[in-house]
Structure 1
Amino acid sequence: MKKTFFARHRRSLGVITLCILLLAVAAGSFWYASQPKATPPGDASAAMLQQLQQSSDAWTANRRDLSTLVGDMRDGRIASAALSEDAVYVTTTDGQHYWLADQSGRIGEMILRDYSSASGSLFPVSLFDTDGEAPWYSKLLAQWPLLLLLVAGAAFVAWKLHPPQTLKQRTGIRFADVIGAGEAKLALQDVTAYLRDPAAFAALGARPPKGVLLTGEPGTGKTQLAKALASECDAHFIQVTGSDFSSMYFGVGIHKVKALFRTARKHAPCIVFIDEIDGIGRRGEQSRSSDAEGNRIVNQFLTELDGFAADSGVLVLGATNFPNSLDPALVREGRFDRSIAVGLPSLAEREQLFRLYAGKVKASGTLDFAQLARNSVGLTPAAIAYIVNHAALLAARSQQTEVVMQHFVDALETCRIGEQPLGASALSETDRTRIAVHEAGHAIVAAALHCGRVEKVTILPRGQALGVTLVTPVEDKRLHLESELRARIQMLLAGRVAEQLYFHEVSSGAGQDLHEASKLALSMVGALGMGPKGSLLSLQAVRDAHLDSDPREALQAADDLLQQLNRTCTKLVERLKPALDQISQRLLEEETVPGEDVVAAVEALMHESLGNVSVLPGHTPHMERVAASAYDGFDPLFDLALVDEVSDEQTAGPGMA
């Protein structure tokens, strides 16, 4: 249900209304103060005071001496008089006004003495602009709108100086509620024991950890782990971000750091969770004033970490996706004593996550959570939560009463390859043919080199892509062999190679493929020691040593690797051309081909070719798998080493027509 405008902006409207009311009250007060007050009839003294408060120009324009005042008093010509600290104001019976200077106060004493000795009624006398008329703060109260603005400004400055922290006693999340991150939970067990009883550690002379750094990809559950740790330890929880300490005002960031740790020590045991701690930055050369302020913030943070007592009961928990961006002094031993990597969920944990989030929506009871977990290799808990929520949105879009398996499959594909655009313009038959050949090239090479599980191939636009080949990892892997990386680069180049084989010309559709292949080749050459020339030098080590280096050699090595793998991929696509023809034709007819049909077409061609080993002239296939042994069912016909040994003259690819 869509909220109304007032419901969506009720807080802003309330603040605006309050400000308008304050301004209206201030304007009304000034208007009321400026209005002349009604005086009782016949009260000459009150009337004179009212005129003096409005303007004293009528009196100050005429100055008289003491003789004039004495003469007017004897003759009874004074209608009223007003005494101030340094002057006497007189109004005569004929309407004249004048004043006399009275810095010493003697004239006022004379008038009051005559009042005390006279027997008859004299002219009325009042006091004007003296300290005894009102208390000392009367003038300040007259300026209350300005005072209100000053108080509001001071409160705003105090609020800006105070770090935006949220102090909680209970987070409502425990380790049992956090699915996955089993290794991180085990690593936090001794931290839990310390926060529960810090005095026991201090009694043994053990130095408890002061800081723990959580690293990992975005969405792996680092924030959830921090909240669960606070609940397990029954400790207060303060959550801030690294960017909260930066400010446009000099010195404010340092004050925020001090206030944060002061609050943590006051509410010990306490966990200070700093999300995106890399936002604090690292110290460097002070070339700008902003750099100096950032260095001072880091220095203050280091000082606060060193100021912890052994039994203070305060733990700093940091989370970042870029641990290399932190200052080395911040992550040294004695400050952030431990670095815990929060990894991706395993197969069983992904199934639990799907069950957890599916329980929050109205899902069908026939869901295959095991299949969903197998098809979501490499996804984070945040991505799985998005998939379940998007499946519910798809069900609502199709006006279904419950979320079924097909909705989850479509949501999983959307997460991996993007949303299917609505109202996309129709492509010409030539473009459809080129896209079909391009995607079929990706698919058959991925199936032949076992780059992963080929799920589907489609020439329907998804996201920014005009066609998609969905290849998912078969298993969770942290270690990748050189042969696997080479196979992935060939899969990325296969679409462009297929276009060149069919049309003798390439298109711009391979731009993103070349981008990904170039990144992978640069990583192999500059960081992993997998270049074609066998260089073992790491470019990252050169940068860390602050040495000047010429990148042209590394770029040339990466290009040589890409050229070598492009030739290998061309030879492979030529041998798989019947499968390429078959899959391309089916894509033009059906627009989407299941991955099982692609694998079947490639396997049929491979079994047919095994009967004729003369496909590789001058060589006989062997069963040595070397690094490629990680691929299940790897066929020697497509062994990378064998294909590379074939001379370029014998199997040259098609040139440009």
Structure 2
Amino acid sequence: MIGTQDHREDNNAKLSSIVEGDGLVETSAVEAKTVRDAEVPRHDVLRRLATRAMGLTGADIERIVREARLKARRQKRPLSYADVEAGIRGHRPPVPADQRWRLAVHEAGHAVVHHALRLGAITGISIDTPEGGSNTISFANGGSGTVEWHNRLLVLLMAGRAAELLLFKAASAGSGGAEHSDLGRATRIALDMEQALGFGGKLPLLYLHHRDPTPVLSHNPDLAARVHQRLEVGQARATEVIMENRPVFDRLVRELFDAQVLDGEAVMAILTSEA
């Protein structure tokens, strides 16, 4: 899934102001360290929490920290990283390893293609949201509006599915299932290219308005075939881009699988490395 909002910087400031003075503790399997210790700088802990909180509002964070603080006080102990992280995650059970690996592959595919096609900045990736996985991205200058630009958007949207097919030889339903899904958005873009943007294979000068792609495509096999061909070309190109950047892709999958959430700085360090 692809999103276009980034709240990390605001979340960092919000978390800092809320937990100030609480002596936030990072729990570890080996020992517990306060963020005042030199080994665990406070800003590093807050940055990790802010990355976890990508997509949440300031009000969400205030509520989560307030509930975590009350829990810690009832148990007569300092507020911990684990307390706040559990609240951010909504106390959801951990994602099974096989599902987490597939999500990491899918989202890494989107990220690698977005970067390789120079579409804009990546400000974060998560495989631990209620919806599954998410790339938070921006588009350089909002796009040029050309046919080449729209074709690159199709490549980006098909990249998650392409990555799954490349590694698993089969795709999950994660790319589809809803209007705002990868396949839902890609289908609408491809249909717009055929009927509304002047890029169509037949009668390109006609502007044909449509509210819902489903009845339009269901009752016009020829149009559906042209739209589907655009999606096939996008998926094929996405596969090529991932294969061309395979070492970086593999590294991003591994690190995303381990961390579950990576901020933009961490993602870009991987994408610009020699892997």
- TM-score normalized by the length of structure 1: 0.27
Aligned to 1:451: 119
- Within the candidate set 35, 56, 65, 1:398 is matched to 65
In 1, the alpha carbon distance for the partners of 2:138 and 2:223 equals: 30
* Counterpart residue number, 2:102: 434
The Cα of 1:436 is off from its aligned counterpart by: 0.7
Is the 2:175–2:182 Cα contact (8 Å) retained in structure 1? yes
Q: Aligned equivalents of 1:430 and 1:499: distance in 2?
A: 13
Look up the match of 2:29. none
1:480 matched to which residue of 2?
145
- The reply to whether residue 554 of structure 1 matches residue 219 of structure 2 is no
Larger Cα-atom Rg:
1
Amino acid at match of 1:500: L
Q: CA deviation at 1:498?
A: 0.6
Within 1, Cα distance between the matches of 2:145 and 2:222?
25
Q: Quote the offset at 1:510 in angstroms.
A: 1.2
Runs of 4+ in 1 over 6 A off after TM superposition: none
How far 1:394 sits from its partner (Å)?
A: 2.1
Size of the aligned set, in residue pairs, is 197
Deviation at 1:534, TM superposition (A): 6.4
Q: Secondary structure at the match of 1:468?
A: strand
Correspondence 1:565 to 2:230: no
CA distance in 1, matches of 2:174, 2:168: 14
In structure 1, stretches of 5+ residues that fail to align are 1-353, 355-360, 365-386, 401-418, 609-657
Q: Where does the alignment leave 5 or more consecutive residues of structure 2 unmatched? A: 1-9, 18-54, 68-86
Task: Map 1:599-610; keep pairs closer than 5 Å.
Answer: 599-604=268-273
Q: Write the deviation string for residues 539-559 of structure 1: whole angstroms up to 9, x where unpaired.
A: 51799xxxx996222211111
Q: Any idea what the Cα deviations from partners look like across 1:8-28, whole Å, max 9, x if unmatched?
A: xxxxxxxxxxxxxxxxxxxxx
Give the Cα–Cα distance (whole angstroms) in 2 for the partners of residues 393 and 559 of structure 1.
40
Alpha-carbon distance, 1:430 to partner:
1.0
Distance 2:195 2:166 in 1: 31
Contact 1:420/1:461, CA 8 A, preserved across alignment: no
**In structure 2, what is the equivalent of residue 507 of structure 1?**
172
Shift of the 395–541 alpha-carbon distance from structure 1 to 2, 3 Å rule, reads: closer
Contact 2:194-2:227 at 8 Å conserved across structures: yes
Query: Using the alignment, how far apart are the partners of 2:111 and 2:220 within structure 1?
Result: 34
User: Residues 451, 396 of structure 1: CA spacing in aligned structure 2 closer, same or farther, 3 A cutoff?
Assistant: same
* SS in structure 2 of the partner of residue 540 of structure 1: coil
Residue identity opposite 1:438 in structure 2:
H
SS at match of 2:271: helix
User: What's the C-alpha RMSD, in Å, of the aligned pairs?
Assistant: 3.4
Is the 8 Å Cα contact of residues 89 and 128 (structure 2) preserved in structure 1?
no
Which residue matches 1:335? none
One-letter amino acid matched to 1:398: V
Deviation at 1:537, TM superposition (A): 4.2
Letter in 2 for 1:491: L
Matches within 5 A, 1:616-631: none
Q: How many angstroms apart in 1 are the aligned matches of 2:114 and 2:101?
A: 20
Measured in 1, the distance between the counterparts of 2:194 and 2:61 equals: 44
Which whole-Å CA distance do the structure 2 matches of 1:538 and 1:466 have between them?
Answer: 39
**What secondary structure does 1:586 align onto?**
helix
Superposed CA offset, 1:395-433 (max 9, x none):
254249xxxxxxxxxxxxxxxxxx965132332211111
Q: When you count helix as a share of all residues, which structure comes out higher?
A: 2
Q: Check conservation: 2:196, 2:207, Cα contact below 8 A.
A: yes
Structure 1 CA distance, aligned partners of 2:65 and 2:133?
A: 24
Using structure 2 for the length normalisation, give the TM-score.
0.62
Aligned pair partner of 1:526 in 185, 188, 195 = 195
Secondary structure at the counterpart of residue 553 of structure 1: helix
- Kept after mapping to 2: 8 A contact 1:489/1:517: yes
Q: 1:563 to 1:396 in 2, by over 3 A?
A: closer
**Paired residues of 1:493 and 1:566 also in contact (CA < 8 A):** yes
C-alpha distance in 2 between matches for 1:542 and 1:573: 34
1:368-396 residue CA offsets vs partner (Å, 9 max, x unmatched) = xxxxxxxxxxxxxxxxxxx99x4145225
Shift of 1:520: 0.9
Give the aligned partner of residue 135 of structure 2: 469
SS of structure 2 residue aligned to 1:455: strand
Per-residue deviation, residues 233-268 of structure 1 (Å, max 9, x unmatched): xxxxxxxxxxxxxxxxxxxxxxxxxxxxxxxxxxxx
Distance 1:503 1:395, change over 3 A: same
**In the superposition, relative to structure 1, how do residues 541 and 599 fare at CA in structure 2: closer, same or farther (>3 Å)?**
same
Q: Which has the higher contact order (CA 8 A, sep 6+)?
A: 2
Structure 1 residues 598, 553: closer, same or farther in 2, change over 3 A?
same
**Amino acid of the structure 2 residue aligned with 1:505:** A
Match of 2:161 among 492, 496, 516: 496
**Structure 2 counterpart of 1:575:** 244
Q: Secondary structure at the match of 2:148?
A: helix
Give, in whole Å, the separation in 1 of the partners of 2:228 and 2:142: 30
Q: Which residue identity is paired with 1:480?
A: G
3-state SS of the aligned residue for 1:460? strand
* Superposition pairs of residues 227-306 of structure 1, within 5 angstroms: none
CA pair 491-420 structure 1, distance change in 2 beyond 3 A: farther
Kindly tell me: are residues 539 and 446 of structure 1, through their superposed partners in 2, closer, same or farther at Cα, counting changes over 3 Å?
Answer: same
The whole-number CA distance in structure 2 between the counterparts of 1:508 and 1:420 is 26
Q: Distance in 1 between matches of 2:185 and 2:245?
A: 24
- Structure 1's 482 and 604: CA in aligned 2 closer, same or farther, altered over 3 A? farther
Q: CA deviation at 1:444?
A: 0.7
Aligned counterpart, 1:422 = 90
Q: Tell me the alpha carbon deviations over residues 130-154 of structure 1, each in whole angstroms, 9 at most, x when there is no partner.
A: xxxxxxxxxxxxxxxxxxxxxxxxx
Q: Write the distance in 1 (CA, Å) between the matches of 2:59 and 2:203.
A: 51
Which residue identity is paired with 1:555? A
The alpha-carbon distance between structure 1 residues 484 and 509, as it changes in their structure 2 partners (threshold 3 A), is: same
- CA distance in structure 2 between the aligned counterparts of 1:459 and 1:393, rounded to whole angstroms: 20
The CA distance in 1 between the partners of 2:272 and 2:90, in whole Å, is 36
